[in-house]
Structure 1
């Protein structure tokens, strides 16, 4: 088929999911028409219009930037269906009722273009049944596209074709969803709940079942089933509150009904466990639906967190406690030893964990052939859709495939498992299910390799499952001496041997003295031996300077040393900016403080959409001194040159607010708006494509006669008048009690650096002059007791101190 081009999208249904799918498309610069029922009074499109207006109030934000909402138009079914002919992709996202969806399909089908893609975002209704409700000619371009909530942040999308769907269309749609919307795709079978929800909901029900069987408290179970076993910190019962107890009950009810329809429940031997417990039904009846209503399984009462105690018929203060033996078992590094110990220990907490994993393994093995093409899809679906560190088959394989299988069979034989069916025969014939050659498929009864779709060539380091062939490490060109916070210069010869990649190797990529020296060396080597350089490593990009080293030097009174350290830090920014080869920063996750400054000085930036960029030094009583203030002053000068009157202060004022308030961009789009990047930078929605794109961007710059900019010897600055105007704002904030005396001092230091120091307004100074001013202000703040207290508090607690 021809290349899939999607210029405009229609979303049918302006509820929570529909509106947020529309928001994510709009964030990707795709115009969207959002449809819903006509309002009973006023403008016909008022229902959809209210949903669009409400996007800006949601947290987490579904829009990458507030202005993206302008790309969404409100419409109604009654008046605007003819506009569907404008759309290349139509996504239906109305309530999960088959009769409602089929009735809507009958209305919209005559208005769809013959070449348009039509998809349902259903979370579990039969895609084949929905397809049957369409005219025969439309079915080849229909499939299920199940986004997870919230669509911007959840990586997983399940793609569910029918027997009638064009295979080439499914391939093209997978590529588009991956690159344009940044999604991780799993092709699911058209079975109840599809893949992730089928396994995930069963896992929750298994926890509920064994919690009741063993008489355990909900808060104890959340301690057991959260981060200690590689699950999100919200664990089980808190997750139910976040999802919404009514939503959870609806999903359980849908699975109960659909699984029961298949052979009276015989298709799923665990069918009797797909029930909503009485205590959960009672909460829903009371309107205690979870986090959205302020109370559910947990609630805040009198400033204390309380948890439901069904046996007592009310709430009690949440304490949550692990049995010491169980805590010791969970701390074991060897998963084989850990699982054997859990199965053998008689304490209810240990038995809960073993039972939950046992029944999860049993369930997944039994249903594998029906719900997934292979075990890789199951494991990745649970990691991407539910936030598990390892999927069920990875966990089983790590714990000892044959040993765990024998324990499961023994529990089945003695009636301890949730279902009496034996493990499928293929389990006994294997030593594991993931191997370098591929992952096991029950349908094919062999290992299958990953898909060879062209889109995945862009992912040089995709998510791998345990036991899969490792990714290429690349060829090391140079590495800093072993030590904390080092640097590696390397390349991927299979991509471009002449484009170097420099990666920080320390924890959270904090930038200490070893990293500073290493970056300077890597840049020098790139200038001498390579055509370009990419700064890249897995997220975070960099969390800023190594505060521990700064604190130690302060404690020793080594302020002259600190001045030299800051000067060298500035030297890295200038080396990046003025390198004789193009330096491209590939930014994902947090790029804070010095990490932000290094990215600002690159020749080009390739951002992942979920990049959180900011100059946050004010939080520890400091100002940016790695060239951040200088970069904003130079930006202001350049912008003022194009404005009437040439006044730099309006542009300095924006930067002053950004630095003084330690503003962090909540997306790459916001980072560009705040001045941390430029409109010419690349923003990618899929983070795994970052390195591929950055290498090619560096190559393109190198091939286009790129040359570094010269340092500007005449930057017009705001000077004393600019500092004074910033101070006026600070005086008002101080008198209103919004900032402390030290906040005032820190903000004035930022104003001084941004305005070029105590010089005449409109004076022309060099970039080095501004660097010297920001460095002097930085070191002066380090000599204050209040800043040293803030640094110590941040190191101890990870939170800012207001003193």
Structure 2
């Protein structure tokens, strides 16, 4: 194995995509230099500097920590081409014009290092044509690398090799993209718009076409084609507005210009409604109007017939909503196919169009069916890919229905389905995905998954329907399982506990599970990892303590009856902190309230970049009572190293009093929820692997739990100082009286209470105060209003 280490990346072009790709390299601690044209006025690197300023304002945030914008090196094509020589990877991301790209390539080619990879982030131009004019050596190191917008959050990157690209170049790039930048890589063939945009944009065009045919308005279509289908909740037209209708038009034009003989060519004509909007300058969200227009607080929708904006808010019909809730995909597809409701007929039509299209084009656009499914899941946010949907709905029956529609002239093209759909291995196996691999129409065989070394880091790779992949919910040897937890291992010396509750909330049964897992880990294993099976699919790490499970106790015996439940939670977390083997929290997604406190008490944290960590109890009128405030006091004392502890306590107090949640693991580090030596992982599929490696390494180094030591606190001086600021905020109308009460309680606890400044207290002293305050608040009517509001609406009540 030869290491391919990217010491530095150059990004050519500081437009929206280029700047955000550079930002994501910085997130991953990869040094990056961002190039653009020299500015005509002002500082020569003005274009790049302006783009970097823009990154700080973009939402969702491209940078995990806004302060890191300063780490992007700035450059221009006139003075700085020599900087390219020290870059191992150069990504070109300028506008989609072949002639402009060729002009730039002539300029940069002489400065590209002898072993560097050169790649274009084009969204649809031919990579082979782009490489014309290179010498044979540079051609062999050139390929397409297509990131999806926004690059930090979209999992998909398409790698598009040409006939001349050396195989090891694409392999090295795939390894870097997968682990360092955390991406899901799909290899695409060099055809217009590659895989995701080709299939995705066809899908959007088909939806526009069928919506007009069945007379459905844009808001109803968005309700039908969003979350109800397991796709992006913005649906179709709202997504187009966000992407920009001009961008959309550009991608459609690429298909018109380059696919004149495609059997679906007639569908690629720009829809009249889109052309009119672009002509009027209604380009979607960026211009304030597109398929939708915001007027004051109201969202109006475009009426296709009149071209006017009218009130929106149309939703799916109840009967169709019920069909879409059907769990059995076979029954669901049959019900849509047989529906007499125009919405049902519309949904069947868009499924049929998609199945027809991917079957006809599989041999030319992708190596195999799995790549099409992953491209749509990772690039367009679908929970299930199109081939997976077809296979789950009954392969042969659906194929028959599609054929009937083609024969009846109802499909968007007269092209027949290819023979492999009906006969041979695919028909025998009941679909394109099997345990031995996924169907390749080009080679007429089932292609196994990539065996590159980078995938050994993924204990459970992204599954596809029908492939029978091992699943983190059932894999390995189970030591104990109930409705709340699963405690298991894979014969690799590390015990794992996975939570099974909704949003992985911490119930009394989960606490019992922690105690059980810890006893077993201390006896027979090198460490314990807390990891959840849906970590890579966007599940929560833990949304906190289970309020719902404490309600019956509260109803029967009041706040006093909840005391033992909170005490058990505190004790369990303290047991994890002082365990005799390392406890590693493998964090991804939400870690809120008790979930955040669980993270704080682990021996070490391995966190996905997309980790949103915070103590949010004040939102329901409570204060953290699982040791979160105790940890804030303890950490402030350790960090102060003899200086004024209050200066170090401010962060922990403010985070808890304002329910501040990190927007990334990097921000969680800056907020003190993650320590400097905690590990941030960019690919959530690698989380379990890295967490186990950390646990074993800590054990092998001779792990000892931290020594129980007293905490020095600020006492009444600290409490009074914080309280004075709270009084100003209350009197200025910035916080409510109840927020003041909560802030005052938090201040009292983190400062150790009414005792002398510089006193030492035990951890238990602070835990007891957390618990006492929590129970007092449970009886408070304002807190009860907040809890009921949250349980009923899921939104915080301001009172």
Give the TM-score category using the shorter length: over 0.9
- Pairs within 5 Å for 1:654-673: 654-673=651-670
User: SS state of the match for residue 186, structure 2?
Assistant: strand
Residues 476 and 488, structure 1, Cα contact 8 Å, conserved in 2:
no
Alpha-carbon distance in 1 for matches of 2:382, 2:167: 30
Which residue matches 1:262? none
Residues 554 and 783, structure 1, Cα contact 8 Å, conserved in 2:
no
Alpha-carbon distance in 2 for matches of 1:338, 1:544: 35
Q: What is the CA deviation profile of residues 332-383 of structure 1, one whole-angstrom value per residue up to 9, with x for unaligned ones? A: 2222222222222232211111111111111100010100000001001100
- Pairs within 5 Å for 1:90-489: 90-259=90-259, 265-266=260-261, 268-429=262-423, 430=427, 431-471=430-470, 473-479=474-480, 482-483=482-483, 486-489=484-487
Alpha-carbon distance in 1 for matches of 2:550, 2:68: 41
User: SS state of the match for residue 163, structure 2?
Assistant: coil
Alpha-carbon distance in 2 for matches of 1:670, 1:328: 41
Offset of residue 550 of structure 1: 3.2
Residues 593 and 624, structure 1, Cα contact 8 Å, conserved in 2:
yes
Alpha-carbon distance in 1 for matches of 2:451, 2:83: 37
In the alignment, structure 2 segments of 5+ residues that lack a partner are none
The alignment yields a C-alpha RMSD, in angstroms, of: 1.3
Residues 126 and 191, structure 2, Cα contact 8 Å, conserved in 1:
yes
Q: Quick one: structure 1 residues 33 and 213, their matched pair in 2 at CA, closer, same or farther if it must change by over 3 Å?
A: same
User: SS state of the match for residue 134, structure 1?
Assistant: coil
Task: Name the TM-score, length of structure 1 as normaliser.
Answer: 0.96
Alpha-carbon distance in 2 for matches of 1:211, 1:567: 57
Which residue matches 1:502? 497
Which among 511, 521, 530 is matched to residue 526 of structure 1? Answer: 521
In the alignment, structure 1 segments of 5+ residues that lack a partner are 260-264
Which among 756, 760, 769 is matched to residue 752 of structure 2? Answer: 756
Which residue matches 2:28? 28
Alpha-carbon distance in 2 for matches of 1:543, 1:433: 38
1:788 matched to 2:784? The reply is yes
Offset of residue 783 of structure 1: 1.6
Which residue matches 2:639? 639
Alpha-carbon distance in 2 for matches of 1:771, 1:277: 64
Q: What is the CA deviation profile of residues 677-696 of structure 1, one whole-angstrom value per residue up to 9, with x for unaligned ones? A: 11111101000000011111
User: SS state of the match for residue 43, structure 1?
Assistant: coil
Alpha-carbon distance in 1 for matches of 2:796, 2:321: 31
User: SS state of the match for residue 63, structure 1?
Assistant: coil
Residues 477 and 490, structure 2, Cα contact 8 Å, conserved in 1:
no
Query: Which segment is superposed worse, 658-667 or 216-225?
Result: 216-225
Residues 551 and 791, structure 1, Cα contact 8 Å, conserved in 2:
no
Alpha-carbon distance in 2 for matches of 1:293, 1:568: 55
Offset of residue 561 of structure 1: 2.2
Offset of residue 294 of structure 1: 2.4
Offset of residue 331 of structure 1: 2.8
Q: What is the CA deviation profile of residues 729-783 of structure 1, one whole-angstrom value per residue up to 9, with x for unaligned ones? A: 1111111111110000001111111111111111111111111111111111112
- Pairs within 5 Å for 1:760-771: 760-771=756-767
Offset of residue 653 of structure 1: 1.2
Q: What is the CA deviation profile of residues 471-495 of structure 1, one whole-angstrom value per residue up to 9, with x for unaligned ones? A: 1533444325x44xx12211012xx
Which residue matches 2:37? 37
User: SS state of the match for residue 365, structure 1?
Assistant: helix
Alpha-carbon distance in 1 for matches of 2:43, 2:295: 42
Q: What is the CA deviation profile of residues 687-724 of structure 1, one whole-angstrom value per residue up to 9, with x for unaligned ones? A: 000001111111111111110012113x1101111111
Alpha-carbon distance in 1 for matches of 2:648, 2:91: 42
Offset of residue 557 of structure 1: 4.1
User: SS state of the match for residue 418, structure 1?
Assistant: coil
Offset of residue 245 of structure 1: 1.1
Alpha-carbon distance in 1 for matches of 2:737, 2:477: 50
Alpha-carbon distance in 2 for matches of 1:460, 1:132: 41
Residues 510 and 546, structure 1, Cα contact 8 Å, conserved in 2:
yes
Offset of residue 140 of structure 1: 0.9
Which among 505, 511, 514 is matched to residue 506 of structure 2? Answer: 511
Which residue matches 2:64? 64
Alpha-carbon distance in 2 for matches of 1:248, 1:462: 32
Offset of residue 101 of structure 1: 0.4
User: SS state of the match for residue 738, structure 1?
Assistant: coil
